[in-house]
Amino acid sequence: MKLTDLRKNIDKVDAEIVRLVARRQSYMPKVAVEKKKLGLPIFQPARENTVLRSKLALAKRYDVSLKLVQKIFDLLLADSRRIQRKN
């Protein structure tokens, strides 16, 4: 496969990643409403820990850098909290 073809494939994957992040974050306003109804705080360390552990397990299964997955989900979870606070 040529470098240009490889780069096109990478660009497609990158676009899908952005679409998936947008989809994930689109749930956050609804999560904020539900947490408010239940009297729960936005920051829930136990839940975030559970999410992170499960994603690190997936990373191991797919042989993806644990540090990379940790950083990605640290950023995603922080942004999720930001969105929830806004709503």
CATH architecture classification, 3-86: Up-down Bundle (1.20)
- Return the domain boundaries, the chain: 3-86
Which residue type does 1 have? Answer: M
Give pLDDT tens digits along the chain (87 positions): 899 999 999 999 999 999 999 999 999 999 999 999 999 999 999 999 999 999 999 999 999 999 999 999 999 999 999 999 998
Tokens coding 14: 């990158």
pTM (two decimals):
0.91
Q: What is the pLDDT of residue 56?
A: 98
Q: What is the pLDDT of residue 87?
A: 86
